[in-house]
Amino acid sequence: MELQKVAKINLEEEPYLKPISDRGIGFYNLDKNTAQFQFIVSKNDKPLLISEQNVKGYAFFKGKPVDNERPSTSGVLDVEFIDPMRGLIGVTVPQWFLKNVTNSTVLGEVYLSLNDAKLEGKDDTVVLGTFSFSVRDSLVNQIESDIKVSYIRMFDDLRETIEKKVEQVQKDLGDLNSLIELIKQTANEAVEKINLSQKQTLDELKSVKTEARTDIDNARDDALRQISAKRDDVDANYELVKTSFQEVVKQSTTDFDSHATDANTTIDEKVSDFKKTLEADGFVKPEALDSKLSDLSWQKYKLTSDDGNMAIVEQFDFNDLDNALAKTPHMYFGISEAKNVPNDLLNAGVMTNIGVGNYRLLTYYPHSNPDKFITNVKWGGVWKGWKQNIVPTDTGWVEFNLLNGAKANTAFNSDGEETGFKCSYRKVTNGSVTTNYLRLNGSNVTSGQIIAQLPNTFTKYSQSFPVRVPVSTVFAGGYITIRPSGEVRFYVNGDTSGWRTTSYFYGETNWSD
């Protein structure tokens, strides 16, 4: 287990001076290796990707001067890179410095410098703002002198009592030599009893060993007799099965020979009949076959080319459908270099032509975007015009994790029933209307923090919606903002002093682009 007191502060890499941040952070002069700061460094509202590979981080703390004395300083402290992908760094305040600045306010700053590993002279340094915190004296250091004297007297009395007890014990023991002789006598008697018990135990073990060996020999003889009997049964059954199998093989061979003779006779007869028909010119020639097939009533158009591929029609004119269709009888055919294609669609694609009589239904699927297709209907001898069609799409619920230390899916999931939904988004497109859905469920955030990053194509316009938060008399609720870049932020509506890291936010919203 590790003890930690962590203060979290957001730092921006920007050239704007701000008032010294006082967020009510405080430590005690007895905090040893537990007084820690964690900083979320961002630039342009996005985490700054930093690690020991590209930068060096330092922190510096300075106490405020008291009675014109020289203020205490911590010296330059190295910064720990906790999570480079989230821009999270940290530093621990030394205990000796906390003791030196007891009962005062301390100022701190964080510095980042480029890691000039290649010695190219790049030593750029940036200061990430100034913040403050307080250091208090622990109560145990404030015990008055009379109480300390009482504790010292108490320990002196305890020592005197212990010395008297030792003297009494020595008197009760008497002659230590007599005690030693008594112990030796007792030990000898115990050894004699142990030796007697050992002999009895060895005799019992020998008896048990003899009985166990006899039982094992009897069990082995019984097993050998059973194995021998089972082997005789197997041999007898094998001979019976062998004899039966030989009879079946013999009968099957006889039947096969008989059938083979009959088949050869039939084949010889068919060959003889074929030769007689061939000599009498009794077979239909190819020319006569084509004539007979042409006289039959059946569908004579090819659905595909001879190689199995779809037929291709070039220069298909979308404004002259009757003449264009008269050139191809196919129900399904490809189009290349078409003319007058509506809706700025690609001039190459696939056409379907179905219908009966004066009713026809044409559907064109362009190669570039087949989910955006067009249709045209001929009814009563008149074409009704091309109509745009779009196949509806639905991404389904896509789950995602929260950023910058925020904990996801914490609300309504701690009672064992798991009734709270998870952080996820969804996009449904139907025709020209796109509906976006967003679900948020989390905690451990501060007002103004970036909590999620959605795809930058998720929404066309900035959006803002309220979400459910704990009831408070200090703030009036919470809301989120969504940018076209996909950035999602959380804000407390009102005074943020009542907001806690354990406070949750929960809500679902949707809008149409």
Q: Is 0.75 surpassed by the pTM of this model?
A: no
**Torsion sign across C-alpha atoms 458, 462, 465, 470:** positive
350 and 463 in a common domain: no
Among 354, 374, 390, which residue terminates a domain? 390
377 and 402 in a common domain: no
Instruction: Label residue 131 exposed, middle or buried (CB < 10 Å: 0-12, 13-18, 19+).
Output: buried
- In the predicted model, is pLDDT for residue 334 greater than 80? yes
Sequence-ordered strand ranges (E) for 300-457: 312-314, 332-336, 349-356, 359-366, 372-379, 382-383, 387-390, 393-394, 398-399, 407-408, 424-430, 433-443, 449-453
255 falls within a domain: no
The whole-number pLDDT of residue 51 equals 87
19 and 124 in a common domain: yes
- In the predicted model, is pLDDT for residue 141 greater than 90? no
Q: How confident is the model at residue 275 (pLDDT cuts 50, 70, 90)?
A: confident
- Better-predicted residue by pLDDT, 507 or 285: 507
The CATH number of residue 122's host domain is: 2.60.40.3350
416 and 437 in a common domain: yes
The whole-number pLDDT of residue 210 equals 85
Mean pLDDT, residues 485-496 taken together:
94
The CATH number of residue 446's host domain is: 2.60.40.1830
Question: Hey, what amino acid is at 219?
Answer: A
Q: In what order do the strands lie in the sheet with 487-494?
A: 449-453, 487-494, 475-482, 463-467
- In the predicted model, is pLDDT for residue 347 greater than 70? yes
414 falls within a domain: yes
Q: Please state which of the ranges 102-111, 121-130, 208-217, 292-301 shows the lowest mean pLDDT.
A: 292-301
385 falls within a domain: yes
In this structure, the dihedral spanned by the alpha carbons of residues 286, 287, 292 and 296, taken in order and rounded to 10 degrees, is 90
191 falls within a domain: no
455 and 334 in a common domain: no
68 and 31 in a common domain: yes
**DSSP at 319:** T
Among 89, 124, 141, which residue terminates a domain? 141
pLDDT digits (tens, 9 = 90+) for 58-69: 999 999 877 777
Separation CA 4–CA 80 (nearest Å): 15
55 falls within a domain: yes
Mean pLDDT, residues 100-115 taken together:
89
383 and 411 in a common domain: no
Average pLDDT, the chain: 83
Among 102, 123, 141, which residue terminates a domain? 141
57 and 44 in a common domain: yes
Q: How confident is the model at residue 311 (pLDDT cuts 50, 70, 90)?
A: confident
The whole-number pLDDT of residue 129 equals 81
- Better-predicted residue by pLDDT, 273 or 435: 435
Which residues lie closer than 8 Å to 166 by C-beta, 6 or more apart? none
Q: How confident is the model at residue 469 (pLDDT cuts 50, 70, 90)?
A: very high
| Percent of the chain clearing pLDDT 90 (strictly above) | 25
Separation CA 101–CA 64 (nearest Å): 8
386 and 398 in a common domain: no
- In the predicted model, is pLDDT for residue 156 greater than 60? no
Q: How confident is the model at residue 423 (pLDDT cuts 50, 70, 90)?
A: very high
Separation CA 351–CA 318 (nearest Å): 11
The whole-number pLDDT of residue 15 equals 74
Query: How many residues would you count in the chain?
Result: 513
Q: Please state which of the ranges 37-46, 163-172, 232-241, 438-447 shows the lowest mean pLDDT.
A: 163-172
Mean pLDDT, residues 238-246 taken together:
79
Q: Please state which of the ranges 134-138, 207-211, 421-425 shows the lowest mean pLDDT.
A: 207-211
Q: How confident is the model at residue 260 (pLDDT cuts 50, 70, 90)?
A: confident
The whole-number pLDDT of residue 429 equals 87
Q: How confident is the model at residue 53 (pLDDT cuts 50, 70, 90)?
A: confident
What are the structure tokens assigned to 320, written together?
Answer: 């002259």
Which H/E stretch holds residue 210?
helix 176-279
279 falls within a domain: no
Per the structure, the complete domain to which residue 349 belongs is given by: 312-390
430 and 328 in a common domain: no
486 falls within a domain: yes
Mean pLDDT, residues 454-475 taken together:
93
Neighbours of 97 (CB within 10 A): 20
Separation CA 94–CA 75 (nearest Å): 10
- In the predicted model, is pLDDT for residue 26 greater than 80? yes
- In the predicted model, is pLDDT for residue 313 greater than 70? yes
- Better-predicted residue by pLDDT, 37 or 21: 37
330 and 405 in a common domain: no
- Tally the domains of the chain: 3
Contact criterion met (CB below 8 Å) for 445 and 436:
no
Q: Please state which of the ranges 125-129, 488-492, 495-499 shows the lowest mean pLDDT.
A: 125-129
pLDDT digits (tens, 9 = 90+) for 373-386: 878 788 888 888 88
Mean pLDDT, residues 131-145 taken together:
80
The whole-number pLDDT of residue 501 equals 86
100 falls within a domain: yes
Contact criterion met (CB below 8 Å) for 312 and 334:
yes
23 and 136 in a common domain: yes
Which residues lie closer than 8 Å to 12 by C-beta, 6 or more apart? 41, 42, 43, 128, 129
The whole-number pLDDT of residue 108 equals 92
